[in-house]
Structure 1
Amino acid sequence: MLSGSVRRSGIALTERQKIAWLRLIRSDNVGPATFRDLINHFGTAEAALDALPELSRRGGSDRSVRIATADDAERELEMAHRFGAVFVGIGEPDYPPALREIDGAPPLLAMKGNLKVAARLSLGVVGSRNASVSGAKFAAMIARDAGAAGYVITSGLARGIDTAAHRASLHTGTIAALAGGLDRPYPPENVGLLQEIVSGEGLCISEMPFGWEPRARDFPRRNRLIAGVSLGVAVVEAANRSGSLITSRYAADFGRLVFAVPGSPLDPRCHGTNDLLKQGAIVTTSPADVVEALAPLSRDDLFTRSSSNLDVKEPAVETTQPTPRAPDDSDRSLIVEALGPTPVDIDDVIRHTGLSASAVHLVLLELDLAGQLCRHGANLVSLVPVD
């Protein structure tokens, strides 16, 4: 069995910082990657908030960018408090260490339950909502044995495989990642299960605002959380083009292990898992296959390596910095001309234009805040296609 939690590190945000961070991430066109770049450029969330209107204007927006107010942020913090939840920043000790390492990790997570669970190494278990009896039974076996070995089980609270995995790990530790706000769990029939999770050895997490009803396009973000929190992801029964395959792709992108349970070629619920095996996923025919593959990676310093993004991940480094020189119109034209509808690496844009990294990132921020830039992960960006 594992010795315990991943080594915790970080410094707590002040109340003022937390309000500023929440305002920034809740403002228009500010996602996790944009949040990181804004802090890197301006030093603090408060300075970045002051810069948003001008950045958006320079990016070509024809309307004022909506900036979340201090009242908005304080109201959401109060909602979290009444709900028994907290917001945890990416540089704080209770933030999941594995999630902190991924590209574009959420700056703030809403969390409710046993926060100590977040510091432990986790296995994601996902699969079909309309699971077979044998599929649900096998998912429970994986969750039970991995839990007994010391791993927290992370899943998405969905019907079928997710439900089986959560129930099998209620007493050893489980994390439910939600697509909506913590106060808007889905599906409704699992509200009771969620209460069991947060009142025992479990935790629920979300990057979405309180009151947010989950929509179809929100579930890939939930799947990304599952993969980001986990050391590996086990897929049990997944049809082609299913959400579970999205989770497995994220896991592979993050350098995590992907396990797949083989199934009958005649069962559509197994087509996705069988394809994962063709692509190199670890063949999983017993829970021991998972536990044995995870064992060599399971050490308490696994997610405490140095990172090039620690300047945004550690709140203590927020310092007042001089505002960088705004690129002039000729610089801006060079950068825009280097972009198009096809994703390109930001480093290639810097080399192609011969401009400083600071200038390129600032223009990309302008375009992003004006709604004219798409971010694709892995440092890739493109212009929003023109209709």
Structure 2
Amino acid sequence: MEHSRLDSLRLIRSAQIGPITYRQLIARFGSATAALAAIPDLAARGGGRPPRLAEPALILREVERTQSLGATYVFIGEPDYPALLAEMETAPPALIYRGDLSLAKRRCVGMVGARNASAAACRFARMLGQGLAAEGVTVVSGLARGIDTAAHQGSIDGGTIGVIASGIDIAYPPENEALQEQVAQRGLLLAEQPPGTQPLARHFPSRNRIIAGLSVGTVVVEAAPKSGSLITARLAGEAGRDVMAVPGSPLDPRAQGCNQLIREGAILVQSVADILEAIGPIHGSMFRQPSDPFTAAPPADASDSDRRRIVDLLGPVPVPVDEVIRQSGIAPALVQTVLLELELAGRAERHAGGRVSLRE
């Protein structure tokens, strides 16, 4: 791997560098190499110590391990990075994959649902997956028990993407090890985490945003209230993608999440035709030119008074960045500069939905 990509991976794996911070650093400094050199000064301006940067030796070991597994990296901003996913503000700066990356360039539909799904729901998910794949649509799911498993089984012959919350070499749940290998061999297997990473609870919401981001729409087949599947649906809706749901019996708790989505405006799905009608025969997103993920306002240096005003508006409760801009009366570029400095100094934290808070 060339030096510039190694530096990109080092930046990604460093403490306190999330997807938004990564984008802002590359937009401001033009390269990961320059950003790594600038971080100590930015953190000092934010009033803290610089974050712990990943050791080059660890990055080299990760790359060697990834290559030994037959896996490959793709970085945001590169031509092969999935264009729809890159549109999300929190898109992973790097993905590790095995299989056919071109499957992500086709129309993709996410399919998620309950791990303890009913036999009827699994059968229906399998049928939907098979029907979508037959129409040239790639089915994206998370290789979990239940609906995810059925979706992959139905679409494995025509095009499926499995997004996992662990390293590319870890199968979870263990009983899906053979299916995960089939997805890698016959479809596409994607991981955000480095090899060897166990599927910790905090990684699953991150996995869900990738499923939503890859897809023009997401179908929820069966889901209880407050389930991870509903998080995926919410992320899809926030990204401007179609949200679809399969109705179920009011007497089955596993159907309550889907029925609630439909009440809130999700598209009701009873067949493959309903999904194809919702996403359209030619979806406009398919023809967008890949946008530059590193566009940003010209870098600007904030004054001490600007920093104090912005810090005074922040607290432990996350607030939208737009609200900070509005109440401070400071130019958006300056606000973003100060927030970047505070985050690198370990004093601020980014949250979903474009919100930020001070660390307690």
- 2:192 is matched by which residue type in structure 1? E
Q: Which residue of 2 aligns with 1:371?
A: 346
User: TM-score normalized by structure 2?
Assistant: 0.93
Which of 244, 247, 254 lines up with 2:232 in the alignment? 247
Q: What does residue range 20-99 of structure 1 map to in structure 2 within 5 Å?
A: 20-61=7-48, 63-99=49-85
Please say if residues 95 and 119 of structure 1, whose CA atoms lie closer than 8 Å, have aligned partners that are also in contact: no
Q: What displacement does 1:369 show?
A: 1.7
TM-align CA RMSD: 2.0
Residue 311 of structure 1 pairs with residue 295 of structure 2: yes
Alignment counterpart, residue 337 of structure 2, candidates 362, 365, 386: 362
- Between 1:354-363 and 1:39-48, the stretch displaced more is 354-363
In 2 relative to 1, CA 271–340 (structure 1 residues): closer, same or farther, beyond 3 Å?
A: same
Equivalent residue for 1:11?
none
**Residue aligned with 2:206, SS:** helix
Secondary structure, aligned partner of 1:125? strand
Q: In 1, are the aligned partners of 2:51 and 2:346 still within 8 Å (CA)?
A: no
Q: Distance in 2 between matches of 1:297 and 1:33?
A: 31
Match of 2:306 among 325, 328, 331: 331
Structure 1 residues 137 and 325, CA gap change in structure 2 (3 angstroms): closer
TM-score, normalising length: structure 1: 0.87
> Percent identity at matched positions?
49
CA distance in 2, matches of 1:27, 1:310: 19
Q: Which residue of 2 aligns with 1:120?
A: 106
1:159 aligned onto 2:173: no
Amino acid at match of 2:357: S
- Taking the aligned partners of 2:279 and 2:325, their CA distance within structure 1 comes to 39
What does the per-residue CA deviation read over 1:282-318, in whole Å, with 9 as the maximum and x for residues that have no partner? 11112211122122453574342656x4538xxxxxx
Asked whether the 8 Å contact 1:20–1:46 carries over to 2, the reply is: yes
Change (3 A) 1:359 1:238: same
Q: Distance in 1 between matches of 2:342 and 2:291?
A: 30
- In the alignment, is the contact (CA less than 8 A) between 2:71 and 2:97 conserved in 1? yes
Question: What do the CA deviations read for 1:299-358 (whole angstroms, capped 9, x no partner)?
Answer: 574342656x4538xxxxxxxxx9x56434323212211223344443443454344444
CA distance 1:346–1:43, change in 2 (3 Å): same
Q: 2:245 aligns with which of 240, 256, 260?
A: 260
SS of 1:259 mapped into structure 2: strand
Distance 2:331 2:304 in 1: 15
Within 2, Cα distance between the matches of 1:16 and 1:269? 49
Structure 1 unmatched ranges of 5 or more: 1-13, 313-321
Structure 1 position 102, deviation (Å): 1.1
Residue 23 of structure 2 contacts residue 294 of structure 2 at CA under 8 Å; is this kept in 1?
no
Match of 1:129, SS state, is: coil
Q: How does 1:283-302 map to 2 (within 5 A)?
A: 283-298=268-283, 301-302=286-287
**Among candidates 126, 135, 139, match of residue 125 of structure 2:** 139
Take 1:306 and 1:210, find their aligned partners in 2: how far apart are those partners? Answer: 29
- Looking at structure 2, the residues matched to 289 and 325 of structure 1 have their Cα atoms a distance apart, in angstroms, of 49
Letter in 2 for 1:51: A
**Alignment partner, residue 209 of structure 1:** 194
Q: Retained in 1: the 8 A contact 2:39–2:50?
A: no
Check 1:255–1:371 CA distance in 2 against 1; reply closer, same or farther (3 A cut).
same
Does the Cα contact within 8 Å between 1:103 and 1:378 map onto a contact in 2?
Answer: no
2:143 partner amino acid:
L
